[in-house]
Amino acid sequence: MNVMSGGGAETLLLTRILRQARARRDTSDILGFAAMFGAGSTRGITQAQAAQLAGVSRRWYNSLESGRPKNYSDGFLQRIRAVLALDDDEWAIVYRIARGRAPDATPAGPVNQLLPPALLALVEQSKTWGIYLSDHRWDVLAWNEKIQEYFPWMGSGLNVVEWMLTWPEARAQLINWQSDWALPTIAALRVNAEQWPNDKRLREVIEAVRLDPTARKLWNAPDLPAVTHPASSSPRRLYLPRQEDKEFAIRIVALTPMERPSCRLIAITPAELVSTG
């Protein structure tokens, strides 16, 4: 149930938090912002920009900021949290007022995943390249600080393919999103669905992806690639935080830890490190 509990005082509190968050938002921290809206002031975003980044209409976003009772989904509120960079206290208040209850606890961290200590240390202590470890559901199990320079949301509990396939932020950050990122990811997701047909969590991820209209159209695309893992020989391009509209080329190196064969260790390397001559 979605309610605006507590009357006028609660509504004013929610409005104040969201307006202040918009006003202080540094646009250089928003991936692909300059490419979407053009160069301009780096301080503050408008309601229209917040709505577009969250993938909703301005009217729908305005309803939330104005404190009007609506059927606000968890996914929408999570996107607003990311777009406005709400801290934990702000998020707890906004969610409670909008949904009428406290937000769910953050998913368990990698320590609870019983990863081999050496594998965990390899990921977390690597300094040169961005590295993360995910399971066959694309839930993130471990990550290092460097990967957050590419993807600031890493480690927040978001699922990799849900972010990549359903978040407007991903479509802004990842250049040639459909051909270079979305279609290969959907192909891999479909292969894993066949390999683990009884995995409840994997089915939840697939359902979340297929709820998105754009991703759902691509699910049965006739041109899905045959390769279901990132090819390190093929660079991909993206925008990075605080780099305005500059494009960066990277290579994705995907490895399988023999101790955890259902997992994937992903390393993000600059494309220019590899010579193709």
CB 172 within 8 A of CB 247: no
pLDDT at 238 over 80: yes
Are residues 129 and 82 both part of a single domain?
A: no
Q: What average pLDDT does range 20-37 have in this prediction?
A: 82
248 belongs to a structural domain: yes
Distance of alpha carbon 126 from alpha carbon 52, whole angstroms:
36
Q: What is the pLDDT of residues 189-199, one digit of tens each?
A: 999 999 889 89
Laid out side by side, the sheet with 130-134 consists of: 140-143, 130-134, 264-270, 247-255, 236-239
Share of the chain above pLDDT 90, in %: 44
My answer on whether 30 and 55 are in the same domain is yes
Answer yes or no: do 159 and 268 share one domain: yes
CA atoms within 13 Å, Cβ hemisphere of 97: 24
What pTM does this model have? 0.69
Question: What gap in Å lies between CA 4 and CA 10, rounded to an integer?
Answer: 7
- 3 in a structural domain: no
Say if 158 falls within a structural domain.
yes
Instruction: Specify the pLDDT at position 273.
Output: 60
Residue where a domain stops, chosen among 45, 74, 99: 99
Res 4 pLDDT > 80: no
Nearest to 100 by CA among 13, 7, 3: 3
In a domain, 104, yes or no: no
Q: What is the mean pLDDT of residues 195-221?
A: 91
Residues 211 and 181 in one domain: yes
Is the confidence at residue 276, as pLDDT, over 70?
no
Q: pLDDT tens digits, residue range 30-78?
A: 767 777 787 777 789 999 999 888 878 899 999 999 988 888 888 888 8
**pLDDT average, residue stretch 193-221:** 91
**145 and 92 in one domain?**
no
And the tokens for 213? Answer: 């209209």
Q: Are residues 30 and 154 in the same domain?
A: no
Asked if 239 and 219 sit in the same domain, the reply is yes
